[in-house]
Amino acid sequence: MHSCLILLTLWSYFGDCTQPYFPRQVVFSSDGGLIVAIDEINQRAYQTLNYTSTEQHTSFVMQHFPYAVPDSPQSKYYVQLLLRTPPSLGCQYGTYWKYGEQNFNDFPVHWWVTESSFEIKNYINFHFGMIHSKNTSSIDEDYWYSNETCMLEDKEILPCEEIYFKKNTEIPLRSTVVVRYGMQVIQEITNYKIISIGKPDEKYFDLIPKNWSVVCQDANLGIIYNPEAVTIDSNRSSDIHISLTAPPHRINGNDTVRIRWKVTQCKTCFKWIPEQLYFNSKNFQTTQILTIIRIKNGPLAKMFPIFKGGGFDSISTDDYSIIIT
Ligand SMILES: *[C@@H]1O[C@H](CO)[C@@H](O)[C@H](O)[C@H]1NC(C)=O
Ligand SMILES: *[C@@H]1O[C@H](CO)[C@@H](O)[C@H](O)[C@H]1NC(C)=O
Ligand SMILES: *[C@@H]1O[C@H](CO)[C@@H](O)[C@H](O)[C@H]1NC(C)=O
Ligand SMILES: *[C@@H]1O[C@H](CO)[C@@H](O)[C@H](O)[C@H]1NC(C)=O
Ligand SMILES: *[C@@H]1O[C@H](CO)[C@@H](O)[C@H](O)[C@H]1NC(C)=O
Ligand SMILES: *[C@@H]1O[C@H](CO)[C@@H](O)[C@H](O)[C@H]1NC(C)=O
């Protein structure tokens, strides 16, 4: 901690002394073209990443997400938005609230506390106590290592976690962690290049499209089937219990989604009752029964939902097929 005192007196413009943690407001790049902007104080973060050679992912997470529909859950809870490039790949968002179990997260896993709660914390989450090395042989770097060691595949023993800073600053240079991939145990090194310390430039957050709540898919919306697959003999029927994972959106005062179905193979093999189901923000968790009747034998078939209203129109129907054999 001695070096931190020097930092505070001589280099106070660097802000709080944060070693062995990241600065609370920071923009940095990392391996593979990852760029991250974190503003822990205002609870917002951005990152962009070349997901594949042709696909780029840009994500935002915020406590108060801009352009949310007033009074919607998105206006009250943390929201994460993922934009894919090229734009034809679509975009999606999720809300961290009691119906958020189907959510996704592109940011550090320790930020997603429980299914319904999210918090923008430090980029780094050490699992062990960290020790500041007294070794003064490095004049350029501060070195921290975990108080526990891990054994690699080749029996080499290393600290489980390490982090290096530019000497007497809060500028992280690289960190290491010992990870297991199946049978393999290796030390993974991540390099960092600080772009700025202090409140991140607004330009990162200005990339959020104003119409995201209308054009992007709500990852929280989905159907629960019980069972998801059925075997039905000829002239027999089977019941599927159906409910929704989250309340449909209220759009122009209407919070109802209508679900119809289509069968892809053997269109004349089945009929079902009722022809359509309606769910709204009050009854979405109450199961309704779809009865499927086989009138003719045939190959394996899939029933796909067709949605209308409630924000479900952009949901991928492929994810919610009923398999019938
Ligand atoms: C990521 O992709 C963009 C757009 O294709 C490209 O301009 C950029 O150089 C790539 N960055 C890295 C680190 O590969
Ligand atoms: C490492 O540090 C943690 C947190 O300070 C402590 O709980 C733990 O007992 C320490 N382990 C060893 C082996 O010293
Ligand atoms: C101190 O650091 C030097 C250079 O990084 C290293 O060779 C040496 O083993 C270290 N000594 C201790 C006691 O960690
Ligand atoms: C949403 O906004 C983007 C850019 O801001 C625009 O290109 C797109 O056409 C808009 N989509 C709709 C459906 O309004
Ligand atoms: C199913 O019912 C139809 C009409 O009642 C009958 O003609 C047919 O033989 C029945 N098929 C089987 C396999 O029971
Ligand atoms: C509300 O939306 C549902 C589903 O699109 C539709 O069937 C219904 O007619 C709508 N109700 C009103 C009052 O517009």
Give the model confidence (pLDDT) of 100-135 as tens digits.
Answer: 888 999 999 999 998 889 999 999 999 999 999 988
Average pLDDT for the chain: 92
Take atom 5 of ligand 4 and give the residue whose Cα is closest: 209
DSSP state of 259: E
Name the token pair of 92: 């999606």
Return d(Cα 175, Cα 318) in angstroms, integer. Answer: 41
**What's residue 241's pLDDT?**
97
Take atom 5 of ligand 2 and give the residue whose Cα is closest: 129
Residue ranges of domains in the chain: 1-220, 221-324
**What's residue 45's pLDDT?**
98
- Give the three-state DSSP class for 206: helix
For the entire predicted model, the pTM comes to: 0.86
Take atom 11 of ligand 2 and give the residue whose Cα is closest: 147
Take atom 13 of ligand 6 and give the residue whose Cα is closest: 254
Residue 33 Cα to ligand 1 middle (Å): 7
Half-sphere exposure of 295 (CA within 13 A, CB side): 7
**What's residue 23's pLDDT?**
96
Contacts of 186 (CB under 8 A, 6+ apart): 152, 153, 178, 179
According to CATH, the superfamily of the domain at 221-324 is Immunoglobulins (2.60.40.10)
Give the ligand 1 atom nearest the CA of 54.
Answer: 5
Residue 211 Cα to ligand 4 middle (Å): 6
Give the ligand 2 atom nearest the CA of 148.
Answer: 13
Considering the chain, what percentage of its residues have pLDDT values greater than 70? 95
Give rounded-to-5 percent helix, strand, coil for the chain.
10, 40, 45
Given ligand 4 and candidates 211, 212, 213, 251, which is best to mutate, with the most ligand atoms within 8 Å of its CB? 211
Split at pLDDT 50, 70, 90, the class of 6 is: very low
Give the model confidence (pLDDT) of 127-141 as tens digits.
Answer: 999 999 988 778 899
Take atom 3 of ligand 4 and give the residue whose Cα is closest: 209
Give the model confidence (pLDDT) of 149-158 as tens digits.
Answer: 999 988 999 9
Give the model confidence (pLDDT) of 207-240 as tens digits.
Answer: 999 999 999 999 999 999 999 999 999 999 999 9
Residues with CB under 6 A from ligand 6: 254, 256, 258, 308-309
Residue 130 Cα to ligand 2 middle (Å): 9
Take atom 14 of ligand 6 and give the residue whose Cα is closest: 254
CB 111 within 8 A of CB 119: yes
Give the model confidence (pLDDT) of 142-190 as tens digits.
Answer: 999 999 999 998 899 999 999 999 999 999 999 999 999 988 999 999 9
Split at pLDDT 50, 70, 90, the class of 5 is: very low
Give the model confidence (pLDDT) of 287-317 as tens digits.
Answer: 999 999 999 988 889 999 999 999 999 888 8
Asked if omega into 86 is within 30° of 0 (cis), the reply is yes
- Does residue 32 or residue 81 have the better pLDDT? 81
Give the model confidence (pLDDT) of 254-278 as tens digits.
Answer: 999 999 999 988 888 999 999 999 9
Residues with CB under 6 A from ligand 2: 128-129, 147-148
